[in-house]
Amino acid sequence: MESAYRQLKRALPRLSTPNCQAARHRPTGLTNRRAKRDEVLTLLADNPKGITARELQRAKHKDTVDEARALLAQMEADGELTGKDSKPETGGHVTRTFTNAQK
């Protein structure tokens, strides 16, 4: 009996040049990044006042707040989002809230 891996390997077309193999793998990374950014923009559409890294982590099941914070910071650096620091009047930690960039 042939394994599922061998069946799949036999069914896939063979690529003759390294450039074809690189091109085959490239869209996955780009698609994944676009999907993550689309998730953030969808969450922002539901929360027009803005979102925090913690809210993104909870809503989209990121492993850590640091991952969510890094994604939001990258989107801010790219000009897609605008961040604003705020501190509660009663004291506490400074929170960075992200909104859609004003164009």
* Band of residue 8 on the pLDDT scale cut at 50, 70, 90: low
pTM for the full predicted model: 0.65
pLDDT at 13: 61
The pLDDT value recorded for residue 103 is 61
pLDDT at 28 over 80: no
Topology (CATH level 3) of domain 17-100? Arc Repressor Mutant, subunit A (1.10.10)
Q: Can you tell me the mean pLDDT for 7-35?
A: 61
Of 89, 57, 61, 94, the C-alpha closest to 72 is 57
Please enumerate in sequence order all residues whose Cβ is within 8 A of that of 84, keeping only pairs 6 or more positions apart, or say none: 50, 96, 97, 98, 99
The yes-or-no verdict on residue 64 having pLDDT over 80 is yes
Q: pLDDT value at position 33?
A: 80
The domain limits of the chain are: 17-100
- Given a cut of 60, whether residue 86 has pLDDT beyond it is yes
Euclidean distance between CA atoms 101 and 103, whole angstroms: 6
What is the C-alpha to C-alpha distance for residues 81 and 96, in angstroms, rounded to an integer? Answer: 12
Please give the residue that has the higher pLDDT: either 29 or 101: 101
Q: What is the mean pLDDT of residues 11-36?
A: 61
